[in-house]
Amino acid sequence: MPPPSATPATSAPLQVRLLKNRQRRLLAGHDWVFSNEIDPASLRENPPSGGELIHLCDNQNRFLASAWYNPGTLIAARVIDRRSIEHFSRQMLAERLDYARRLRDRIFPTPHYRWIYGDSDQLPGLVIDRFGEVLSVQITTAGMEAMRSSLLELLLETDSVRGIVVHNDLDFRRLEGLPEGPTETIGDVPGSLTAIEDGLTFTFPAKGGQKTGWFYDQRDNRQRLVRYAAGCSVADLYSYAGAWGIHAAKQGAANVCCVDSSRSAIEMVQANAAANQVEVDAVCADSLETLKGWGADKRVFDIVIIDPPALIKRRKDVEAGLQSYFQLNRLAARVVAPGGILVSCSCSHHLPEEELITIINHAAFKDGGRHAQILETGSQSADHPVHPAMPETRYLKCIFARLG
């Protein structure tokens, strides 16, 4: 990455010391420092404010990294540069935005992708999804909030960008002590946004959708699906706007049923199916209850896709979440036809891939006596790059399992 163009600051950043032996993870490349790793004595004289740039040091006052600080959160410091910088400038921000965009533009044929993926793109607390000329933005750290004005100016200066949707109603903002508010629009933002994947178009509301409005992270996994879909009956559970099911239908699936509990999501499925000239059955119902009903009726599908929201959001939820994933996979496995395929997904960081595979095996073999074969495993697409020292940045698992 090109070096940032730092400019002199009016005062040197505060030095914040870590407790003894708490620098090991940081030295291994991880970019977070937790509040219980910081020596409170180094904060007493002149405590930094939220979003302020600090210099992290070990307990011998040896420099480690430049970071954004937030006094009221579990993650107290987030590394913004491994060099000693006086402040994070607009020029540095511009260079990192450009560096990230050049990767995405090299990978994807059209400007429809996740442009910025937080820590992995060296911009902690920033997520940007691009939908052609409109951007969907989430700011979730105090340091990035301090750069908000510069960020939005730079984004509007980007070629072909004419509008921005900024999501302020996020749980992460509350955890960071940032003000919450309604979604705001800047520039020319239409009522609906469009994502393009593999020549298919998907439209959804600019406001009120899930997260940034679309799930680009499953793009590669949806491409994996198409090789299996021709001539098959397909069930797409937790379908949202129908991306999985419509991909399958376009590849010649015999029939597709999309299920989601949201009426607005089902309306999106119907509109997107029509726009892509395919037919799907769109059902507004709870996915778990639907699976129970199908099982009771002995209804089966050649391919069953389960792509639920995160069922384990925090470490303390792991035990209950594992039971939820098992229950879901057990019910889904029961409606997979002999020789059919279960596509089981999890976006829970706290559920490792090997644990999800174990759950699938238990759901198929121990519950139903069925032989399972793992055909493929997938993660998030390349516009969600994984930080090699931060397992937190790899969250998505997608398992393709054939059930005998």
Residues with catalytic function: 347
If residue 104 lies in a helix (H) or strand (E), which one and from where to where?
helix 90-107
Closest of 260, 253, 156, 251 to residue 204, by C-alpha: 260
* DSSP string covering 220-232: HHHHHHHHHHTT-
Q: Is 272 helix (H, G, I), strand (E, B) or coil?
A: helix
Closest of 243, 249, 251, 244 to residue 227, by C-alpha: 251
Q: What does the radius of gyration of the chain's CA atoms come to, in whole angstroms? A: 23
Bridge partners (DSSP) of residue 194 are: 203
Q: How far apart are CA 277 and CA 220, in angstroms?
A: 22
Give the sheet arrangement for strand 233-237, strand by strand. 281-284, 255-260, 233-237, 301-306, 336-346, 397-403, 372-378
If residue 101 lies in a helix (H) or strand (E), which one and from where to where?
helix 90-107
Centroid of chain to Cα 139: 14
For the record, the structure tokens of 13 come out as 């950043």
